[in-house]
Amino acid sequence: MIESTDGAETLSADIAVVGGGLAGLATAINLADRGQSVLCLEPRTWPRPAVGESLEFSAPRLLATLGIDVEAGEPKGYLFPKTSVQINSTDESFDVWPPAWFAKPPIWCSRLAFHSDRIELDQQILGLAVELGVRILPQRVISVEHRNDEITGLTTDRGARITAKWYVDATGHETRLFGRTMNLDRTELGRPGIAYWARFDEPPLGHSTNLYMPRPDADQLAWIWEIPLNPSQTSVGVVLPSVEAATCRTRGELPRDIFCHHIEAVPSLRRLALGAADVPISSTAFTPYRHRRCNGPNWLLVGDAAAMVDPLTSNGVTAALRHADQGARLITESLERRPFRRCRAWTFDATCPATVATLDEAIDAFLYRPGIRQPLGLRPAVMLYAATGVVTNSVYARLNPITLPRAVAVATFLAACRVWIRAASAALPHLATFRRRRIGRRRVGG
Ligand SMILES: Cc1cc2nc3c(=O)[nH]c(=O)nc-3n(C[C@H](O)[C@H](O)[C@H](O)COP(=O)(O)OP(=O)(O)OC[C@H]3O[C@@H](n4cnc5c(N)ncnc54)[C@H](O)[C@@H]3O)c2cc1C
């Protein structure tokens, strides 16, 4: 139900969810499904512009658990099959797709994947929320009252006061409402970047996510995505290190100029560049990060507001849905006063945002930083990240850390993963140099 109020009144609910993006609505759905009364505050209306997304392998099952009909996704236009991820640089082009044995024990990686048209998918998710009785208040939260680590109320831009037993921050990476207001500790996990993207009324060329990396040897990696949304529309985005975007802007380039000149440089995207003068260009600045603590006595951070995963990992949707599932369990158990609440609180932080942090560390070490990419080449760097990402997500999906022992197993696995990332990124460049020298010496000798 979309509510309308004329301002200065007090509204109450069991749980107030701030932000009606994917993480907010999914958390609201999971809570309403468990019988809680939920008020979701979201100032923007639907349908609204959204980025085109390439989804990770766990996403279909997570969407189905939320109540989305995955099988109807293609005919109804909110999901589009994904059959490979193609990496294209100036001198090579290769496919990154788990081989068939990844689907078997011990990895158990599902090989079913989709792209999502988020404008359509968001409508489905909103429909589910409304059906389950989530009340949507179209207002922006402008202040958060808190005392001794507890939130006591929220105020909106129209003067309404909101009180609840629990408060959820799902305001995304740009707002990070509770994180900023409560000054929560935050660790940055990658370099700052800027993404520019547009949606074209052009049929996609196939069912692959295409990633273009025109300068694979550069110190700072820039990349471009081409994502099929449905049989007649394609999403294209340009992701630049913010220093490069700043240089473009000092030359007087506007976002549209920056977007166009980058896609024109890719031969297979020139057909789209011709129409780029007429399509709206969206942009966002981001730095991957995680909050050290993502929940308190009556508050929780979910989705990008808790931890932002780099877009190159294609893990944002998976992360938001996992946060929503685990978060709803934590809140429900706390409201029902079940024992071991502190264990559940630890479980959330040690698994959901920790998985995001591990993936961010992996993509930064293996792909963004030149340490591995320059000496070993683009393909080994991509494969190192892809293998780490697939195994991490498969372990999470397999163990599904909803109990303490499972959470301990996932947390231990993530810690081991981080040791692997650090060891590999320190050792592999030396091994590559050593190997090159040996080959050089053999050539000279022979
Ligand atoms: C460029 C880019 C490309 C991406 N590509 C992919 C991809 O290919 N695959 C993938 O899986 N993921 C991708 N992602 C990530 C994915 O889009 C997000 O992780 C996911 O949408 C989760 O978002 P969220 O709900 O946490 O935040 P958001 O979608 O940002 O939602 C936050 C909501 O909070 C609302 N809000 C903000 N402030 C307030 C306030 N004060 N009061 C009330 N409401 C407020 C906003 O209006 C918004 O609706 C990409 C992200 C970016 C930036």
The yes-or-no verdict on residue 446 having pLDDT over 60 is no
The yes-or-no verdict on residue 437 having pLDDT over 90 is no
Q: 21 CB less than 6 Å from ligand 1? A: yes
The yes-or-no verdict on residue 292 having pLDDT over 60 is yes
Atom of ligand 1 nearest to the CA of 320: 22
Atom of ligand 1 nearest to the CA of 25: 25
For the domain spanning 193-286, the CATH number is 3.30.9.100
Residues paired with residue 385 on neighbouring β-strands, in sequence order:
none
Q: For residue 104, what pLDDT band results from cuts at 50, 70 and 90?
A: confident
- Ligand 1 pocket test, candidate residues 304, 325, 355, most atoms within 8 A of CB: 304
The yes-or-no verdict on residue 376 having pLDDT over 80 is yes
End-to-end CA distance of the chain: 78
* 3-state helix, strand and coil shares in percent for the chain, rounded to the nearest 5: 45, 25, 30
pLDDT tens-digit series, residues 318-339: 999 999 999 999 999 999 877 6
What is the predicted pLDDT for the residue at 443? 66
pLDDT tens-digit series, residues 49-97: 889 899 999 999 999 999 999 999 999 999 999 999 999 998 899 999 8
The two tokens of residue 412 are: 């231990």
Pairing of strands 84-89, 208-213: parallel
Q: Closest residue (by CA) to atom 16 of ligand 1? A: 316
pTM greater than the 0.85 cutoff? yes
Atom of ligand 1 nearest to the CA of 26: 25
Domain ranges for the chain? 193-286
Rounded to the nearest angstrom, the distance between the alpha carbon of 429 and the centre of ligand 1 is 35
Up-side HSE of residue 399: CA atoms within 13 Å toward CB?
23
> Is the peptide bond preceding residue 60 cis, with omega within 30 degrees of 0?
no
What is the predicted pLDDT for the residue at 2? 67
pLDDT tens-digit series, residues 194-245: 999 999 999 998 999 999 999 999 999 999 999 999 999 999 999 999 999 9
For the residues 354-378, what does the mean pLDDT come to? Answer: 96
Higher pLDDT, 410 or 439: 410
